Structure 1
Amino acid sequence: MSIELTLNPEKLEVIREMDPRVQSYNIEMTELTGGTFWVPYTPEQISGEEAFPTCDKMEDMMKMLAGMQTKVPAINLYDERIRSFAKAFGPVVIRFSGSWATRTYYDFDGHTGGKAPEGFEFVLTKEQWQGALDFVKAVNGQILVSVANSFGVHEDHTGAWMPEQAELLWKYTEEQGMKIEYAEFMNEPNMLNGMCLPDGYTLDDYGRDYDLFAKWLRENHPETKLVGPCSAENERGAAAGGMAALLLGTEDIMKRCKEAPDYYSYHSYNGISERGQMFGAHFDFDAVTSEYYLGATMEDLHYNEVIRDKYAPGAEMWVTESADAACGGNTWGPTFVETIRYVDELARFNVNTRGIIFHNTLASSAYGLLDADTHMPRPQYWGALLYSRLAGTTVYDTKEEIREGAHVYAQSRKDGEKGFCYVIINNSREEETLVHVPACVQYTLSADSLRSQEIKLNGNVIASGEDGTIPELKGEEKEAGTITLAPCTVTYLVVGDER
């Protein structure tokens, strides 16, 4: 049975002002230096015509995962296409991190010849970091980094963390007339194994080193705000079993850190991709428009809010990695259905808290907003871009319960005019949603199939220029009356304020 809604702008009540940089993203350190990342899915796997291989034994899964990594070249951040599409989002914070960053040596004078010294595994050159800085400047961004914590930055490779490497990064950045606005200590301290740490490294050691970093940062670079704990653990993962149940607890980490972060950070993926499905917390494709799947990241938010309130009260919530699935994204990550999940996450996050979501990634693997090879937009990019262009920073309570077919959100208008921008998601796969509306401008995103790699705006395929040109994204003017929203669509309605 179809759901019927009536929009009543006069009944909207202000909840909060959201962070205008809520749509931010990651560029992994392995992308900056060149390294390894996930093997791309085949076209048939993306379309759903070919099943992704799996296995029955955990040891076989580990072997299979090892074979799913491939070498990737360093990303070209001077490419005009990637710059054009990234700049269109407006102000963002760009996070340069990932597990690769924990083991990366900064060589800004070329003395290593590209070979990592003992205690590190990878090298970041001056040219690579300069490319990152120039990109940040070009797209009107700010910087968030996580620093190395491999045994090469520890006294005698076994003792306390030392700041010399971090100081190189800050010094070079400042010499270029820029600054590092935000910093995390280490990516995902819930997983200490395999991070090139000193032998026998414990959570107590981590707490000591985190505090050393925090004090060094605040004494030497007070302009940089501390973000943490950069946690990957959540209640859903522990309940699912597998690898997630082995993660160290976020509260156990925070207990050992005396220095409170300025911003509380954690990672939140809706699940684990087909690559790691034996680890648990994997959603099959049939579930990805369901209420439980779409609400999963809110469970992670509320879980982490309890810890935040205890150890960093008042700090904003920063989701420093988020996408449809860990392990590089699902096979359907590059398709239309991911638009539904991502737009819903953005709108629902702003209703529940103030902070930033760092989409993982801008242009790498199946979950990238842009294709890794071509830098052309995936469908979810267009859903996110319309959100950025249409939805203002004031968030309202619509008084509508979230339910299948009716995820209804409202914000102010981005254009500065009086009025509101409604975001309405019909996540039903079968039923239409009828909406009684005032006069408005309608932008409805749809596709011929959920796994389509094309996306339509008001029935017309969105096609960007090969040079990175953004096409005109024009809405349809509607008189007051009733509009019908087809199953599995994302709709923005821009209305005036008649109050």
Structure 2
Amino acid sequence: MGIQIRLMGRCSWIYYLLCLCFIVVNVEGDATENGSVLIHGKSLIGKIDDDFVCATLDWWPPEKCDYGRCSWGLASLLNLDLNNKILLNAVKAFSPLKIRLGGTLQDKLIYGTEDYHHPCTPFVHNTSQLFHFTQGCLPLHRWDELNSFFKKAGAKIIFGLNALAGKSFQSSYAVGPWNYTNAESFIRYTVKKNYIIHGWELGNELSGKGIGKSISADQYASDVVALRNIIQNVYKGVEPKPLVIAPGGFFDANWFKEFVTKAGKSVDVVTHHIYNLGPGVDDHLTEKILDPSYLDGEASTFKSLKNILRTSATSATTWVGEAGGAYNSGHHLVSDAFVYSFWYLDQLGMSAIYDTRTYCRQTLIGGNYGLLDTKTFIPNPDYYSALLWHRLMGRQVLTTSFLGTKKIRAYAHCAKQSQGITVLLLNLSNQTSVQAKLAITFVKVPYERKKLREEYHLTAQSQNIHSQTMLLNGNILSVNKDGDIPPLKPLYVDPSKPIVIGPLSVVFAHIPNAIIPACT
């Protein structure tokens, strides 16, 4: 019956749903359910950048502590070991990886350029200061070292500028125009050295009510216009010019609408941040991650921001500029463990549906939510989830749903750099396996008769979702003695068989002969 349905590629979508209602969601024993992945093959629902996956590097010193735990170590942009082989190989594996340089302390950062006539000193912990740290300085020799690493690794850099420079504080508000003198000098130095910057972002979490301080939408728009003018002037004769990005804050519909309207063509990318799981100290993070209703909650933010851009005169796109899930540095053995891939991959899939072009994970390294372990640099499970997404999920996003248990999350894209489509399936159930058949409308050829399906099954070591070790098709993923990232090899499966998603597992499935109009 499943094969018959898959061959009915030209039947209408409504007819499809009616047919499938009679044949799926049959429980076969206590531990297995059947279901169907429904994919509309004629039109796209969204698009992402080819380098959609992005990660962040932050400024936090070792003294940054949360709830009595200090998880940042030497992961700051000022002290990170740029000679570590694993770090280099981890970034190079993406070819390229977008890296956003920024975070809370970027709005207290001075650049040690010719115009700064003071000692260039690092951040110092001081609880009486905004964000509990003094002003810090980026020495130009360190900026040179960072750019040498980025060039070697093939990274695309987004740099977050200090948006509080020159402003006065009135209660929780930062008022007055941006003093861009030091920032402009830094940008000029960067251009003089031929360092390639993909985008300059202004400010961190100063939108809406802000974190620590906030800037009105009207003033923020004026400051972004000033940044645009600097970029046009300093990069005169240089193409393509870097993107102008803002505001890098939490979504507030009224604030964002006013900002987008007043910034006009001066802003290329509108960024927002996501920490929808709450504080890292929360003992219920795992329950939230495995609750489909809770995961659904963030869709309203993506939808609202998409509508704001769609109904305005702007040509700007939207990015998630920073997302760590659980704020205040995450939670050890949750945000750096296998279980977090359910939240992370679901976020990637959901955001893509709403035309989010890039998604920046907090962090590449640092805190308890790094893709790499802060002390050892060894990749955490989410690193491999991110790398598989980057290699398999193409730019075109397909309308996808799952008919069956609500514990399955399903997303599909046109395949990346290859024929066909790639399906991502997450099983949030800790007891039930699901056998999923594919139902694709407008499919041009009977794909089950052609090439084998390529499957990547991700599970936790010893079935412990709080493990920091991930298995791919039953094999442990680990770097070798030279710090090389392991190859990510698929299983080859008879395409006439259903995709089996085990309890608490993730499956990427590439179907090379599912030829649909949306992908051609």
TM-score, with normalisation over the residues of structure 2?
0.76
Deviations along 1:156-213, whole A, 9 cap, x unmatched?
A: x985323221122212211222232312221111355746x9xxx7666545434433
Judge conservation of contact 1:35–1:71 (CA < 8 Å) in 2. yes
What's 2:454 paired with? 441
Structure 2 CA distance for partners of 1:192 and 1:269, relative to 1, 3 Å? closer
Q: In structure 2, what is the Cα distance between the partners aligned to 1:126 and 1:149? A: 20
Query: Does 1:121 pair with 2:135?
Result: yes
Q: Which segment drifts farther, 379-388 or 404-413?
A: 404-413
Conserved 8 A contact 2:72-2:366: no
Q: Higher relative contact order at CA 8 Å, sep ≥6: structure 1 or structure 2?
A: 2
Letter in 2 for 1:115: T
Matches within 5 A, 1:63-462: 72=74, 74-108=79-113, 112-115=118-121, 121-152=135-166, 160-190=177-207, 194=212, 205-221=219-235, 223-234=241-252, 249-251=255-257, 257=263, 260-275=266-281, 284-311=285-312, 313-331=314-332, 332-400=334-402, 404-416=406-418, 418-436=419-437, 438=448, 439-447=452-460, 448-462=463-477
The alignment yields a C-alpha RMSD, in angstroms, of: 3.3
Distance 2:481 2:47 in 1: 36
How far apart, CA to CA, are the structure 2 residues paired with 1:263 and 1:471?
34
- Displacement of 1:27 in angstroms is 0.9
Between the aligned partners of 1:205 and 1:12, the Cα distance in structure 2 is 44
CA contact (8 A) 1:260 1:312 kept: no
Q: Which residue of 2 aligns with 1:46?
A: none
Between 357-366 and 475-484, report the one with greater CA deviation.
475-484
Between stretches 223-232 and 435-444, larger displacement belongs to: 435-444
**Residue number in structure 2 paired with 1:57:** none
Task: Detail structure 1 runs of 4+ shifted over 6 Å in the superposition.
Answer: 116-120
Unaligned runs of 5+ in 2: 1-26, 124-128, 169-173, 439-447, 516-520
1:26 and 2:56 matched: yes
Aligned equivalents of 2:270, 2:190: Cα separation in 1: 24
Stretch moving more, 111-120 or 157-166: 111-120
Query: Aligned residues, how many?
Result: 447
Give the counterpart letter for 1:130 in structure 2: D
Q: Larger deviation: 333-342 or 109-118?
A: 109-118
Range moving further from structure 2, 205-214 or 163-172 = 205-214
Letter in 1 for 2:470: I
Partner of 2:421: helix, strand, or coil? strand
Question: How much has 1:90 moved relative to structure 2?
Answer: 2.3
Distance 1:452 1:224, change over 3 A: same
Are 2:45 and 2:399, in contact at CA under 8 Å, matched by a contact in 1? yes
Shift of 1:257: 4.8
Q: 1:420 to 1:151 in 2, by over 3 A?
A: closer
Deviation at 1:308, TM superposition (A): 3.0
Residues 42-81 of structure 1 mapped to structure 2, 5 A cutoff: 72=74, 74-81=79-86
* Paired residue secondary structure (2:411): strand
| Distance in structure 1 (CA, Å) of the matches to 2:154 and 2:426 | 30
- Post-superposition shift, 1:82? 0.3
Alpha-carbon separation, structure 2, partners of 1:426 and 1:271: 19
State the identity as a percent. 21
Q: 1:486 to 1:123 in 2, by over 3 A?
A: same
One-letter code aligned to 2:351: F
Note if contact 1:183-1:227 (Cα within 8 Å) is conserved in structure 2: yes
Amino acid at match of 2:186: L
Structure 1 residue runs without a partner (length 5+): 40-63, 236-247
Q: Contact 1:153 / 1:163 at 8 angstroms: preserved in 2?
A: no
Which whole-Å CA distance do the structure 1 matches of 2:404 and 2:92 have between them? 32
Distance in 1, Cα, partners of 2:402 & 2:503: 18
CA contact (8 A) 2:39 2:399 kept: no
Q: 1:295 to 1:131 in 2, by over 3 A?
A: farther
Structure 1: how far apart are the matches of 2:37 and 2:197? 43
Taking the aligned partners of 1:498 and 1:250, their CA distance within structure 2 comes to: 40
* Structure 1 CA distance for aligned equivalents of residues 280 and 38 of structure 2: 42
Summarize deviations over 1:388-446 as a string: whole Å, max 9, x none: 22223332223546962322222233342x22221111122222111236441221001
Question: Which protein is bigger by CA-based radius of gyration?
Answer: 2
- Mapped to 1, the partners of 2:250 and 2:317 lie a distance apart of 17
